[in-house]
Amino acid sequence: MERPAWAPQGIDLSVPSVARMYDYYLGGSHNFEADRAAARRAIEAFPGLPKIMQANRAFMRRAVRYAMAQGVTQFLDIGSGIPTFGNVHEIARDAGDGARVVYVDNDPVAVAHSRAVLAGDDRADIVAADFRSPASILGSEPVTRLLDLERPVALLLVALLHFLDNDEKPHEHVAELRDALAPGSLLVLTHASVERGPATVEQGDRISDVYRRGGSTLVMRSSAEIARFFEGFELVEPGLVPLPDWRPDGPLDEEDPIVYSGFAGVGRTA
């Protein structure tokens, strides 16, 4: 298999990656045939998947603008993925002055491409690290250089936590990150679910199986299970709701029902 010039050495091009599949759903070009094949199987199992990813991105943009309006100008985006148009630092800077952003991902392609995009930017950087090791993120050079943890930070966990099963202790990791943040910090979160949308439990099982066969976990959780991630945070209005329903920019009449296959929320620490 021919290795593109942008592909870091040492990665197995035959194994699909969550970040590169997400890139494919969004119409990006930083993915390999293994990622595209797995993504096509996922779309077959769960039609409308690209629209869900677009709804995720749209929520993220609204939440970043909300954070900036609340005076929270520091962002820690874990599981940030491969940069596409409208990243956190771009949205934040469009919304106001002084935003500082640290991205975190464990996918080598996401890290390499982020470094290229952020080259020469003294207010944004990328950390090669894993959500399951909060200490390595919090102690990283970009975090200590760019973020003041004595002031509020917006912690973004967008379309991340459904890739961890309960054995990987995602609630404990969120709590560890929460406890490191100053009062007034925000948790911005989305999570896949079949509780409210038109997709069936069987479709959820099928897409989970596609990811499992590719070596990744995908867990559909209920709204009650997802709400547990906000322990220690106070949910801001309108609470934990389907993706399009969180402070929409306009009327929702034309939304495809499939984009209700997930929940979104923003919480604030006291």
Residue-level pLDDT, tens digit, the chain, 270 residues = 567 777 777 778 889 999 999 999 999 988 999 999 999 999 999 999 999 999 999 999 999 999 999 999 999 999 999 988 789 999 999 999 999 999 999 999 899 889 988 999 999 999 999 999 999 999 999 999 999 999 999 999 999 999 999 999 999 999 999 999 999 999 999 999 999 889 999 999 999 999 999 999 999 999 999 999 999 999 999 999 999 999 999 877 667 899 999 999 999 998
**What's the CATH superfamily of 18-236+260-269?**
Vaccinia Virus protein VP39 (3.40.50.150)
Residue ranges per structural domain of the chain: 18-236+260-269
Separation CA 183–CA 35 (nearest Å): 40
pLDDT score recorded for residue 76? 98
Q: Which residues, including other chains, have CB under 8 Å from residue 53's CB and lie 6 or more apart?
A: 22, 25, 26, 159
The model carries a pTM of 0.94
| DSSP reduced 3-state for 41 | helix
**Terminal C-alpha separation, the chain:** 52
Tokens encoding 22: 């997400």
pLDDT given at position 2: 65
| C-beta separation of 30 from 23 below 8 A | yes
The two tokens of residue 227 are 């709400």
- Give residue-wise pLDDT tens across range 59-113: 999 999 999 999 999 999 999 999 887 899 999 999 999 999 999 999 998 998 8
How is 164-222 classified by DSSP, letter by letter? S-GGG-HHHHHHHHHHTSPTT-EEEEEEE-SSSSS--HHHHHHHHHHHHHTT-------
Q: Which residues have C-beta within 8 Å of that of residue 265, sequence separation ≥ 6? A: 187, 189, 226, 227, 230, 235, 239, 240, 241, 246
| pLDDT of res. 1 | 55
Strands 154-157 and 186-192, bridge-based pairing: parallel
Instruction: Establish whether the linkage from the previous residue to 238 is cis, with ω within 30° of 0.
Output: yes
Give start and end residues of each alpha helix (H) in 7-77. 18-25, 33-45, 49-69
pLDDT of residue 10: 74
